[in-house]
Structure 1
Amino acid sequence: MNSSNQQNLPLLPPFAYRSINRCSLPAAILGSLEFQQHPAALLIDGVQEFHSELFNTLQTMDDPDDRVEHFKEYMRSCFLLDHLDEAGYVSDHKRYQRGKANYLRLLRGWMFNASGTEGAVLKSWVTSRFGLLPRNHLGPLHDYDSHNYQAYLAGYAQGLYNTNALEAQLDLLYGFCQYELQRRFPDTSHWRLYRGVNRLQDHDVLAQPEQREYVLLLNNLNSFSHSSEHAESFGDYVFHTQVPSAKILFFPELLPGILKGEREYLVIGGAYRVSLR
């Protein structure tokens, strides 16, 4: 890309990100349209170093199914998912029994309702790690004093309360997803994915380069499908885009048998150039 084209790219609006994150690139860069076109690997601080034993072991395994089983066993062991009392879980909190909340329940909760408690936790994790702010949860989040925003804050506070390092579990889920994408598809930098929407106006339109071509500011976490037909069931319009591998938190084949019947990709947001059908 020449310098003149780079200068014409719409910038990520300041209201879409914060200046501090826990990632190898600042939010203004990883959330930009230029990143979509020319992505780079994203590393969450400390994950590779702290869990080096996991990734070193995975490197010795050729069978993806064996790697998945080892990852699940590592998660159970590392976060004491089968022995929550040893992790400090207090079971006498009558109001919030959150002992069974873990990364798998967050994924299932998102698939059921992206604007539920689990969705709020996932969106807050994206903000913490990548610096991208949510744009929608139970409705637009444009006003910090709005009912929607207060409900979002309450949702992720409740979702994290009395749980066992949920955000650290998501850090490792993202790290494993990125490892598997690179291991299984080493020559794939982008994925052509589809999303069904009822109204284009539900997204911030940053530019319209051509007819039926838009630059959208997506929510900080989104569901996509690999199939346009599947995406059509979620809205009157379908747009497709090229999603960098570095922005995929979850893909359907990552944990086979765990989320039966779901074919969703969880995609980290920012600015994307999309084509509308």
Structure 2
Amino acid sequence: MTRVFADRETKTRYDLRFLLHSGEPLLLTEDATPPDPTLSAAPRLPASARLPINRCNLPADILGGLTYQQHPVPLQLDGVRNFHQALFATLAPLSRRDERSAYFVDYMTVHFCLEDLEEAGFTPGPRKKYRCNANYLRMVRGWSFDSDGREGAVLKHWVETRFGLLARHHGGPLDGRDSDAYHAYLVQGSRGLYATNALEAQLDLLYTYCQYELELAHPGQSHLRLYRGINRIDEHEVLATHPGQRYQVLLNNLNSFTSERERADEFGDYILETQVPLAKIFFYNRLLPGMLKGEDEYVVVGGLYEVGISTF
């Protein structure tokens, strides 16, 4: 799989940081840059939290690690941007966000035949129509209502296949891939995907469009400071602790955050705060008109994060 870097120097620095944080032996040639003493060793993403393959330009052990959180590079799902290059060529001259979002919704409707299900290959029938109506909008709205429901299982499964990060929680801890809880999660996700209309391809394009909009909204920016209300830090898998209420935690493979600290306080006694790479934002409620309501929600791909904990 090809990594995307702006230049060779950026790639060299990124690989060096990853080796330093991974604990792997580091061999320096005469012209190599020496290790930066300010970079300290950090926990690696556990093998039990990732898959050996995925469908994007970085493997899971890198994109799910702390080094990536601190020094992110763009993530690209295999072939999606190229396959839909006509869409992004049309969006490029549009200066207004509402114009772009309206065109994107129209493109999704036409490309995936969302309003002409027989054209998409479905035969008439109320049950079949219900299943093929399970589109990208229904998935993200279902997530907002209940992230541990069927739609949440579909989205977490999508993250597993695209980014290689395994779900850690769904209605309770998922204790290993051989556990009953994990099998129940797989069944729920499979039922959510069954007889749908290229649903995972719809989610691929939604993520890619989200990244396109984030680049326009935050030029030259790599992170957003986001917040999450919690009641106890042990709700998360803590791998290391540091002074000043700083923790290194393994988040679920998909998580809800908000950009408004005051709203996070409504969901717990403590506030988890972290810097989220833009490349790890799957979607947010202002991306499309009427897509989500309520708090200013950002749905974030997980992995290892350094976080702070505070009271309001």
Which TM-score tier does this pair reach, normalised by the shorter chain? Answer: over 0.9
User: Of 134, 139, 164, which residue of structure 2 is paired with 1:131?
Assistant: 164
Q: 1:254 is matched with which residue?
A: 287
- How far apart are the structure 2 equivalents of 1:167 and 1:49? 17
Unaligned 5+ segments in structure 1 are: none
Please state if 1:197 is matched with 2:230: yes
Partner residue, 1:207: 240
- Counterpart pick for 1:50 among 83, 93, 97: 83
Letter in 2 for 1:48: R
1: CA distance, partners of 2:49 / 2:40: 20
Number of the residue aligned with 1:167: 200
Q: CA deviation digits over 1:28-74, x for unaligned, max 9? A: 00000000000000000000110000011111111111100110000
Q: What is the one-letter code of the residue matched to 2:42?
A: L
What's the secondary structure of 2:132's corresponding residue? coil
1:113 and 2:146 correspond: yes
Instruction: Tell me how far 1:123 sits from its aligned partner.
Output: 0.2
Which residue of the partner structure matches residue 273 of structure 1?
306
Structure 2, gaps ≥5 residues long: 1-16, 18-34
Q: Which amino acid aligns with 1:226?
A: S
Q: In structure 2, the residue corresponding to 1:208 is in which secondary structure?
A: strand
Equivalent residues of 2:285, 2:293 under 8 A apart: no
Structure 1 position 218 matched with structure 2 position 275: no
For the structure 1 residues 101 and 94, does the alpha-carbon distance in structure 2 shift closer, same or farther, using more than 3 Å as the test? closer
Q: Distance in 1 between matches of 2:234 and 2:124?
A: 45
Do 2:246 and 2:309's aligned partners in 1 also have CA atoms closer than 8 Å? yes
Does residue 188 of the first structure (1) align with residue 226 of the second (2)?
Answer: no
Letter in 2 for 1:89: F
Provide TM-score, normalisation by structure 1.
0.95
Q: Distance in 2 between matches of 1:75 and 1:136?
A: 30
Q: Is the 8 A contact 2:229 2:267 kept in 1?
A: yes
Q: Which deviates more, 178-187 or 91-100?
A: 91-100
Q: What letter is aligned with 1:198? A: N
* 2:63 partner letter: L
The residue number in structure 1 matching 2:73 is 40
How many angstroms does 1:90 deviate by?
3.8
Cα distance in 2 for residues equivalent to 1:255 and 1:167? 18
Equivalent residues of 2:263, 2:295 under 8 A apart: no
Q: Which moved more, 1:241-250 or 1:144-153?
A: 144-153
Amino acid of the structure 2 residue aligned with 1:217? L
**Paired residues of 1:89 and 1:162 also in contact (CA < 8 A):** no
Q: Give per-residue Cα distances to partners, 1:164-203, cap 9 Å, x unaligned.
A: 0110000000000000010121122110000112222121
CA distance 1:241–1:62, change in 2 (3 Å): same
- Whether the 8 Å CA contact 1:126–1:132 is kept in 2: the answer is yes
* Aligned CA-pair RMSD: 1.7
Q: Higher relative contact order at CA 8 Å, sep ≥6: structure 1 or structure 2? A: 1
Looking at structure 1, the residues matched to 167 and 243 of structure 2 have their Cα atoms a distance apart, in angstroms, of 27
- Stretch of structure 1 that moved more, 6-15 or 210-219: 6-15
* Over 6 Å off, 4+ runs: none
- Partner Cα distance (1:5, 1:112) in 2: 43
Match of residue 97 from structure 1: 130
Q: Deviations over 1:125-167 (max 9, x none)?
A: 0000000000000100023343321221111101001100110
Deviation string, structure 1 residues 2-34 (Cα, Å, up to 9, x no partner) = 544545111111111111000000000000000
Scaled by the length of structure 2, the TM-score of the pair is 0.85
Identity across matched positions, percent: 53
**Does structure 1 residue 236 correspond to structure 2 residue 259?**
no
The number of residue pairs the alignment matches comes to: 277
Q: Is the Cα contact below 8 Å between 2:122 and 2:128 reproduced in 1?
A: no
